[in-house]
Copies of this chain bind each other. A is one copy, B any other.
C-alpha cells in the first residue's frame, strides 16, 4: 500500500464548511477501486492548512484510476471551490515503522 499525502490550503473562514464538504465526499473514496483508507488532518500550527492522507493499493490506483473517475469529479466539485491554490501532492511508502 502507498499513501497519497496532499497538502491543501483554504481560507480559514471556510474551515467548518470545508470539513463538512470533505465528510460529504468520503463515500466517493470508499467506492473507489484500490482505495484503502481516508483521513483528513488539520494543522494546529497554520490555520487553513490541511493534509489529506489516502491509502491506495498503488500510485496507479490513485492517478490512473481515481483521477479518471466520476468519483474524482464529485470530490473536486465538493471541495475544489475551497482551495486557495492547487494541492501539493506526494505519494509515500513506509520506510521505517519505528513504534
Binding site for B on A (CB under 8 A): 2-3, 5, 19, 22-23, 26, 29-30, 37-46, 49-51, 59, 89-99
Q: A96 near B51 (CB under 8 angstroms)?
A: no
Q: A98 near B40 (CB under 8 angstroms)?
A: yes
Q: A40 near B90 (CB under 8 angstroms)?
A: no
Interface of A: prevailing SS: strand
The 5 closest A-B pairs by CB, nearest first: A38-B98, A41-B92, A42-B95, A40-B96, A26-B98
Tell whether A96 pairs with B39 under 8 Å between CB atoms, given A46-B90, A90-B45, A91-B44: yes
Partner of A39, one of B5, B51, B97: B97
Q: How far is the CB of A39 from chain B (nearest CB, A)?
A: 5
Q: How far is the CB of A98 from chain B (nearest CB, A)?
A: 3
Tell whether A19 pairs with B99 under 8 Å between CB atoms, given A3-B41, A45-B91: no
